[in-house]
Each structure stands twice: as structure tokens, then as C-alpha cells.
Amino acid sequence: MSEQDYRPIVFTDIDDTICQNERLVAASAREGLVSISRTMLHATCMTVKQQNLLRWLVQTTELIPVTARSIVDFSDIDIDFGGSRRIVANGAVILGPDGRHDEEWAALMAAEMAAYQDRFEAVLAATSSIGRERGHVLKAYVTSEFGMSISALFRTEDGSTDVLVDLRSGLCDLLPGWHVHLNGNTLAFTPPPVSKRRAVEHLLTKTDGAHMRPVIGMGDSLSDLPFMSGCDFISIPRGSQISSAFAN
């Protein structure tokens, strides 16, 4: 193997790790802020520290983004990851450097997710009744790629999270084994086969010399922790959901 092939492998979350919403950037970190939204709908940006972190990672590691973003949302951000492979849609989809689907992974996901596809309708129906009972309007939608439903997401119109906590308890009985994630004003339910950690493990089996190379996991959210803890080292941004959980 050449020296190049011994580079560390870094699996990194995107939002709130190497970029963030412009309105959440502290006044002390605004100098040199760069917008990376192609459509400007979401005003995603990078601080100077995040820009320098990304540049260093691209130059010295094999950098692989791991994100809940859909393929379309991923293409909205203007970040050069160094032409790497990427894991999107919470691990349901793996794309090669040329943007092509990892066929082996796609076939596995299609087979394992088939049994869960008709559950999404029941989830949405149960949600509106729980929202009505609590007097809240819940926004609910299902993410999908290539016609496969992947996650059910919920938000409240008024930004209150209490009803989302109630909804989480109500749906846990209906959806045993599903991944549940509440962060801020978003509640997500995802069937068991979809997993960032499984996708990371799959990519490592297809990576030359992976057993010799340090593997680092970076992320801000508790939902990132399973894939991060499967790596040799982890890296967590200050002020993130994970660091707050550790600090408390």
C-alpha cells in the first residue's frame, strides 16, 4: 500500500458538525462566515473554524459524509468532500464518488425495508389523532428515496416540543424496534434496517486496508453516536446535543 492508502478514514455528519444554520451562529464566530446553500432556502453556512477543519480533513484523510439529508438536500450544499463516497438518507443510501448507487447496499435495503412500507400510513394516521387530542397541529411527512419510504418526521407548527414527547411515547408501542430520535423541534421514526452504523460498517468492508487505518467518527447528534462509537476515535462539536448529554 502507498502512503496515501494509509490515510485516516473520517466519517462525518454534516449539519451542526461541519456547517450550520446561519441564524444559529454566535456573534463571536460570524467573521468570515461563508454561505454554502446553493438554493439559499436554508441559509446553511460554515464558520472560519469549520472551513479550516474541512480543508485539513480533505487534505489529510479520506473524508466520507454521513447524513440524514436526502440526495436532493445533500446536493443543496456546496461542500467539496474530496470526491469521496457518501452515506445519505440516514444510511439508507450509499453513493459512490461518481454519484452512483452502491447496488449491493440498495438491494439489501430494498429487501429488508419491504416489510415496513405499509406501516408509514398507520403512523401518519395515529399522529394526527394524537395531535388533535392535545390541541396541536403537527406537521408530518415521510422521506423517501427511489420510491422507498425511509423515515416519518414530525414537527409542531408552534415550536413546542411537549406534544412531540407525548407522540414519541404513543408511537413507540405502535412501532416496536424502530429508531426514535428527537432533536429540537423534530421527531423522527425510522425502521430498524436503516442505520448509519450499518452503512459505515458496509463501506469499511469495501475499503482497502481499513483494518490498518485509524477510523474517526464525527457528529453532533445522539443519533450519530451509534455510527461514531463503531469508529476507533470520536469527535464531537462543543455545544452539541452529544456534548450537552455528557456534560449533564
13 vs 73 by CB, closer to Mg ion:
13
181 vs 213 by CB, closer to Mg ion:
181
149 vs 223 by CB, closer to Mg ion:
223
In angstroms, what is the minimal distance from the CB of 221 to Mg ion? 5
Residue with grid cell 461541519, as numbered in its chain: 18
Interface residues with Mg ion (CB under 5 A) are 13, 15-16, 220-221
Contacts of residue 184, Cβ cutoff 8 Å, sequence gap at least 6: 161
CA 164 to chain CA centroid, Å, is 20
51 vs 90 by CB, closer to Mg ion:
90
In angstroms, what is the minimal distance from the CB of 4 to Mg ion? 29
2 vs 246 by CB, closer to Mg ion:
246
In angstroms, what is the minimal distance from the CB of 94 to Mg ion? 18
CA separation for the pair 54, 248 (Å, rounded): 29
In angstroms, what is the minimal distance from the CB of 68 to Mg ion? 8
Q: At what angle do helices 103-113 and 196-205 cross, to 10 degrees?
A: 150
CA separation for the pair 245, 248 (Å, rounded): 5
In angstroms, what is the minimal distance from the CB of 77 to Mg ion? 12
Assigned C-alpha cell, 129: 389523532
Residue with grid cell 445533500, as numbered in its chain: 74
